[in-house]
Amino acid sequence: MSAPTPAPLLLRGARLTTGETADVLVAEGRIAALGAEAAAQAAGLDPAPEEVDCAGLVLLPGLVDLHTHLRQPGKEDAETVETGTRAAAMGGFTSVHAMANSTPTADTAGVVEQVWRLGRDAGWCDVHPVGAVTVGLAGEALADLGAMADSQARVRMFSDDGMCVHDAVLMRRALEYVKSFGGFVAQHAQEPKLTAGAQMNESELSGVLGLAGWPAVAEEAIIARDVLLAQHVDSQLHVCHVSTAGSVRLIRWAKEQGVRVTAEVTPHHLLLTEELVRSYDPVFKVNPPLRRESDVMALREALADGTIDTVGTDHAPHTAETKQCEWTVAAMGMTGLETALSVVQHAMVDTGLMDWAGVARVMSVTPASIAGLEDQGQADERGVPRVGAVANLVLVDPEARRTVDPEQHLTKSRNSPYRGMELPGAVRHTVYRGARVVADGAPAQPYRHPAVAEAGGRA
């Protein structure tokens, strides 16, 4: 059987990133019309489109996350592709990139194809597996990058995230290899010998708290090396979760030299500081660690001026057993898919550093461009989705206020650092390939990929 085409939608009175209001017609999975033409074309449709009142809601192209941990296969007690992508849809994401540190590692064509199929079966958003750079993330031998690139998953992003590709020769070979098929390496910048046993940012506070320090230079040294390697072989490098002011300066310099480097910052590094570690609450333990207030301000400025290209959630779900324990043995990582847009609004929009067009740029258009996603991030330079594009959209209420309660989140894990914090903004609707997968702030029905429907529920 064939998958039914999503019913047409008429989004009434949405607020564009330009500040104007407009109707948007979604039909046959695409944006059919925008503005005055939308209602006129809707009148001729059979069946008539479902009308959705979007007064006061900001319309953005669907969000794209280059840095998500979905845990499956092997760690389904913390997250699955189903639960993680449903949480992503609730956060306004229509595309996520699943990092390779699953069990088994996503270092073969078979594993990345499994993750890709699980994403299609779930139907909440696109799932793009990230292939491991090295076998088992061990940093000793290159994984079969070409086989993953040629697989059904068509992997283009490779990362050992959670581990650094610390061997300079291996990193050079990886950059050379991915260049041959238009891929890129996303580096977790952490010199392991400088961070052995590290527990938090190295500072006066780490000494006061008696926790082993994680120096900024451990991140900055790898970035400095890697931008030079990328320049040497003329390949594309993406720097994951930038966290220090020094890293910003290095990336800015590299871009000035014409190096093909892009970078991301996480929502938590835009908002939270090392001062939270005084509580010894392991929910604030993360890799890289929370840094100083001066680093947070430098990261915000770099995101606003384009030195940092994207926001990546680094959504890292963990079980209660591995997170709610003594700080020194607790797992590193925080959930983030369902709060990312609110944190960016709070840190960037409500502070005047960025407008909604900028949010569309750093959370949709630019990450889609970096990853080469033709069906995502299709908007003009003002952040307005393009007529004719695949209908991947999010509508957010910027006036809403909510107190974060992780118990209400759709991710399986509860390790949100924002528990009890009041944040602005709320996703009201997420449209994925023309289907409203989130409606009125709640999950609706997932999109049915044609191949999934023809296979009776699994592709």
Tell me the binding residues for Zn(2+): 67, 69, 161, 188, 241, 314
Environment class of 387 (CB within 10 Å of its CB; exposed 0-12, middle 13-18, buried 19+):
middle
C-alpha 344/C-alpha 354 separation (Å) is 9
Where is the binding site for substrate, in residues? 69-71, 101, 287, 318
Neighbouring C-beta atoms of residue 411, cutoff 10 Å? 25
Could you tell me which residues come within 8 angstroms of residue 405 by beta carbon, excluding any fewer than 6 positions away?
419, 420
The whole model's pTM is what?
Answer: 0.97
User: 453 pLDDT exceeds 60?
Assistant: no
| Helix ranges restricted to H, 257-361 | 267-271, 293-305, 320-323, 340-344, 356-360
Is residue 167 part of the annotated active site? The answer reads no
Average pLDDT, stretch 150-174?
98
Select 62-371's CATH number: 3.40.640.10, 3.20.20.140, 3.20.20.70, 2.40.50.140. Answer: 3.20.20.140
Per-residue pLDDT at 297 exceeds 60: yes
Annotated binding residues, written as ranges, equal 67, 69-71, 101, 161, 188, 241, 287, 314, 318
State yes or no: pLDDT of 94 exceeds 90: yes
pLDDT confidence bin for 377, thresholds 50/70/90: confident
> For 207-216, what is each residue's pLDDT tens digit?
999 999 999 9
**CATH superfamily ID and name for 9-59+387-454:** Urease, subunit C, domain 1 (2.30.40.10)
Query: What would the mean pLDDT of 416-431 be, rounded to a whole number?
Result: 98
pLDDT, position 3: 55
Residue 383, token pair as written in the block: 């952040």
Give the start-to-end residue ranges of the domains of the chain. 9-59+387-454, 62-371
Phi, psi of 409 (to 5 degrees): -75, 155
Of the candidates 242, 237, 348, 222, the one whose C-alpha atom is nearest the C-alpha of residue 287 is: 242
Specify whether the CB–CB gap between 242 and 299 falls below 8 A.
yes
pLDDT at 1: 40
Q: Are 82 and 122 in contact (CB under 8 A)?
A: yes
Mean pLDDT of 258-282: 98
Condensed to tens digits (0 to 9), the pLDDT of residues 329-374 reads 999 999 999 999 999 999 999 999 999 999 999 999 999 999 999 9
pLDDT per position as a tens digit, 8-38:
999 999 999 999 999 999 999 999 999 999 9
**Which member of 126, 314, 355, 440 is catalytic?**
314
CB crowding 23-55: b at 16 or more within 10 Å, else e = bbbbbebbbbbbeeebeebbeeeeeebeebebe
Q: What's the CA gap between 63 and 227, in Å, rounded? A: 27
